[in-house]
Amino acid sequence: MTPIWPDHLFLVGCGNMAGQMLARWLACGLDPARVTVLRPSGKPVAEGVQVVTDYPSALPARTTVLLGMKPYQLGDVAASLAPLCGGDTRIVSILAGTRLAELRARFAQAGEIVRAMPNLPVGIGEGVTALHADAALPAASRGAVEAFIAPLGLAEWIADEGQFNEVTALSGCGPAFLFRFIDAFARAGEALGLPADQSARMALATVRGSASMAARASESPAILADRVASPGGMTRQGLNVLDADERLLKLLTDTLAAARDRGEEMARGG
């Protein structure tokens, strides 16, 4: 999909996630002259990108605002930013746990508002970004938002906003869980007697190659696993351990549920 860049992009905050998103957009052709970053520290972001330490007197026409600060800062940000937003302002929020209704209440005069939940691999164009907007958002606007997000990786529209914590548990938190798996995979090889550095390299390459193969295959990962495993062979014996009592599925389900439940607690102010 060919990217569709906003006429102007105004980032409120440029921390780890928002910074990764911006870096990828710039690498894919976004003109830095069309970007302004509000950053209290004034620290430069990228060559050609304007960094300001306070809100401007006005936003350019047809600005897309990316809310990338901490969720607890929303009240203070909205007090200064909302008066600058008009009907041609599109707001994209990556604030965890902040629902559309609250965003609309805070930015009553803004135009379109979209929730987005990216994960860290967006910085290399292999991320996942969940998107949610009111059903009234026009199809053309949905397409424009998708085309803006496309350089970051997979974009998925979520119909039920109530599922955002489930989505965050799976794809938002998922990279950390997979990093932990890669580390454990390597340490297991070390426990069997392989040199630690060699086991780490082989584990990472195995995961990377397998993920690439799964992405290209027409079969599901479950079928691919069975195709690797010959009856009575080494792979099948190992799978028997993972599959016993669905222990791997139960472990991952418990992991995602714990992350989801924490998200719901945070949304309630816990």
CATH of the domain at 233: 1.10.3730.10
The answer to whether 153 and 128 have CB atoms below 8 angstroms apart is yes
pLDDT value, residue 266: 79
Averaged confidence pLDDT in the chain: 94
Residues 21 and 83 in one domain: yes
> Containing domain of residue 215, as a range?
174-267
Side-by-side strand order, sheet with 113-118 = 50-52, 35-38, 8-12, 63-67, 90-93, 113-118, 127-132, 153-157
Total domains in the fold of the chain: 2
pLDDT digits (tens, 9 = 90+) for 11-52: 999 988 999 999 999 999 999 999 999 998 999 999 999 999
Q: Is residue 26 part of a domain?
A: yes
In CATH, what number is assigned to the domain containing residue 52? 3.40.50.720
pLDDT value, residue 36: 97
* Coil vs helix vs strand at 217: coil
Residues in the chain, total: 270
- Residue 48: is it exposed, middle or buried by C-beta count within 10 angstroms (0-12/13-18/19+)? exposed
What's the whole-model pTM score? 0.88
**In the structure, what pLDDT confidence band is assigned to residue 238 with cuts at 50, 70 and 90?**
very high
pLDDT digits (tens, 9 = 90+) for 145-196: 999 999 999 999 999 998 989 999 999 999 999 999 999 999 999 999 999 9
**Which of these, 68, 75, 90, lies nearest to 6 by C-alpha position?**
90
Residues 68 and 147 in one domain: yes
Domain boundary among 133, 162, 191: 162
